[in-house]
């Protein structure tokens, strides 16, 4: 099977939708249809947020969303916001390839670092993350607005 990584395109919407809904369900994050529509529009515009897809034999089996922003200590950093692989495609290097593709975009974009978050008990993902990046020990807090 051939793995290809490329920008999301208009024709990817049905497969992206299934993967994005799987991602949101995994993290138990209720999301409305209008929020999925708005996210898709932002991803296609590729101004503030960007999306890549992983294809195995032309079928979209993984997605990643990322964005660039300023930091107090660096003019540009890259945040890998969402990463999800079709459960049936796991173990084939899809997530690793998507992470590396974002890291490459971060290099090209002049970012000083690339980072992401995951749940503490997401042991399967963390096994990969520990191989491709360094865990810094930070814990995230959110204020509901």
Using one digit for the tens of pLDDT, what is the confidence trace for 135-145? 999 988 989 89
For the segment 115-132, the average pLDDT, to the nearest whole number, is 94
- The answer to whether the beta carbons of residues 63 and 54 sit under 8 Å apart is yes
Q: What percent of the chain has pLDDT over 70?
A: 100
Categorize the per-residue pLDDT at 67 as very low, low, confident or very high, splitting at 50, 70 and 90. Answer: very high
How many alpha carbons lie under 13 Å from residue 63 in its C-beta half-sphere?
A: 23
The answer to whether residues 65 and 24 touch, using CB atoms and an 8 Å cutoff, is no
Which secondary-structure segment (H or E) carries 7?
strand 3-7
CA distance 4 to 59: 10
- Residue 144 confidence (pLDDT): 87
Can you give the pLDDT at residue 1? 73
């Amino acid at each position: 099977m051939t793995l290809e990584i490329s920008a999301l395109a208009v024709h990817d919407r049905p497969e992206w939708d299934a993967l994005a809904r799987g991602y949101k369900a995994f993290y138990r994050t209720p999301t409305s249809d209008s929020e999925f529509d708005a996210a898709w529009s932002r991803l296609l515009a590729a101004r503030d947020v960007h999306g890549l897809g992983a294809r195995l034999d032309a079928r979209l089996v993984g997605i990643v969303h990322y964005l660039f922003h300023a930091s107090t200590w660096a003019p540009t950093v890259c945040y890998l916001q969402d990463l999800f692989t079709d459960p049936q495609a796991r173990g084939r290097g899809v997530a690793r390839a998507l992470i590396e593709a974002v890291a490459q975009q971060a290099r090209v974009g002049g970012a000083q670092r690339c980072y992401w978050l995951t749940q503490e008990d997401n042991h399967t993902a963390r096994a990969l993350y520990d191989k491709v990046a360094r865990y810094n020990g930070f814990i995230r807090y959110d204020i509901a607005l």
